[in-house]
A and B are shown apart, each in its own frame.
Chain A
Amino acid sequence: MEFEQLYKSYWQKVFRLCMGYVNDYDIAQDMAQETFIIVWQKLHTFRNEASIGTWIFRIASNNCLRQIDKEKRFPKSELPMHITEEKHYSLEPQILFLYKCVAELPEIDRIIISLELEDVKQAEIANIVGLSEANTRVKIHRIKEKLTQKFKENGQ
């Protein structure tokens, strides 16, 4: 599998997953890059047992979870606050609100819903996260309910 090819076809998806996890453009960009660095390093170990998509999403979501460790080491307050604000806010408020809501969910739910919204099959989501398919289905349903409710409360 050609790395460049993967990079092109999966960058957006991985970025959105990270963005749903942290809701911070710059951190998400960094996390997506880290993911592809790992993909680059590990690509030779990929054995076709899973689809390449599942494989990449596993790395990406594990990297998100690893973020907990890093947050502790570099508390957000220590990061420079200025530069971040401008570029991405041409987006509609509804989109911003969706990402904000997702990032407020419990960690595993963030990953599950991001993958669902990315059109990853539920069986594959179960495989990435390590839950049963039935559980995954239930979770997705509940998360969607929660999101719908938040949107309604917010009058979106």
Chain B
Amino acid sequence: MDNNIDFKDLWKQQAVSPPNIKELLSKLKYFKRVSLRKLVITNVLLIATSAFIIFIWYFYQPEFISTKIGIILTISAMLMYLFVYNKLVGFYKTVDRTQSNSEYLQKLISIKTKQHFLQSTMLSLYFILLGSGLCLYMYEYTSRMTIFWGIFTYVVMLGWIGFTWFYLRPKEIKKEQARVNGLIAKFEAVNKQLSVNE
């Protein structure tokens, strides 16, 4: 097809001078700080909580084995969360951005798929561990109460766990899934543009 429009010439008339390089470097610092902050806060918060629980164990010397198991379950819930969270951050860090578009897209799709799996499985496991850990932990202390208060405590606690399990957890999972699924679908659609030559 003969085209008499010089696209290249038009294209290059869009000229813009580069912003000052100093501005770029200051942005770089900001960039690093923000992405690091969330990671550090999450880690510090959960590790501090775990340390606090261990401190309680050490300080109050629980007598029942159930209390100790409870503590271990609670801590492992938090450690597991951290592990997965850090791993996800790591996935993004290791993506090689200098690959070709098609390799890069494949990589993004595989990361998102992993994320999809981790998020739903991990969130459920997190709630199970935390919930059962808490129930076991409380047993020693409620057993010292009167029956009424003991039952009352468990009813309140199980009510809360039930609320998080049946309401918060599915809601959270659904929200994340919808987002990640949407992304996977979109990435795959773009990837298809590479494979079919319509």
Any chain A CB within 8 A of the CB of B122?
A: no
Q: How far, in Å, is A30 (CB) from chain B's closest CB?
A: 9
Q: Are A19 and B8 in contact (CB under 8 A)?
A: no
Q: Does B5 contact A (CB under 8 A)?
A: yes
**One of B20-28, B73-81, B143-151 contacting the partner:** B20-28
* B1 contacts partner chain A, Cβ-Cβ < 8 Å: yes
Shortest C-beta distance, B18 to chain A (Å), equals 4
Assembly CA distance A94 to B17 (angstroms)? 21
The stretch of B47-55, B123-131, B179-187 in contact with A is: B179-187
A58 with B97: in contact, given A144-B7, A151-B5 (CB under 8 Å)?
yes
Interface of B is mostly: helix
CB of A25 to closest CB in B, whole Å:
8
Shortest CB-to-CB span from A2 to chain B, Å, is 11
Closest B residue to A50 by CB, please name it: B98
Question: Is there contact, CB below 8 Å, between A99 and B14?
Answer: yes
Task: Please determine whether A62 and B179 come into contact, CB atoms closer than 8 angstroms.
Answer: no
Question: With the chains together, A29 CA to B13 CA distance in Å?
Answer: 16
Are the CB atoms of A127 and B11 closer together than 8 Å? no
A106 and B179 form a contact (CB under 8 A): no
With contacts A33-B24, A148-B1 known, is A108 near B193, CB below 8 A?
A: yes
A19 to B16, CA, bound (A): 11
Complex CA–CA separation, A128 to B193 (angstroms): 15
Contact B10–A42 (Cβ < 8 Å): no
Q: B25 — which chain A residues lie within 8 A by C-beta?
A: 40
Report B150 CB to chain A, min CB distance, Å.
46
Assembled-state Cα–Cα distance A117/B9 (Å): 8
Q: Are A148 and B14 in contact (CB under 8 A)?
A: no
Question: At the interface, yes or no: A138 with Cβ under 8 Å from chain B?
Answer: yes
Q: Is B190 part of the contact surface with A, judged by Cβ < 8 Å?
A: yes
Nearest CB of chain A from residue B106's CB, rounded to whole Å: 9
Closest CB of chain A to B185's CB: distance in Å? Answer: 10
What is the distance, in angstroms, from B34's C-beta to the closest C-beta of chain A?
A: 12
Pick from B12, B24, B194: contact of A130, CB below 8 A: B194
Chain A residues within 8 Å of B99, by CB: 58, 62, 130
Chain A residues within 8 Å of B193, by CB: 106-109
Q: Select which of B11, B98, B102 is within 8 A of A55 by beta carbon.
A: B98
Q: Output the least CB separation between B111 and chain A (Å).
A: 10
Q: What is the distance, in angstroms, from B135's C-beta to the closest C-beta of chain A?
A: 37
Contact surface of B with A, Cβ cutoff 8 Å:
1, 3, 5, 7-8, 10-19, 21, 24-25, 27-28, 31, 97-105, 108, 179, 182-183, 186-187, 190, 193-194, 197
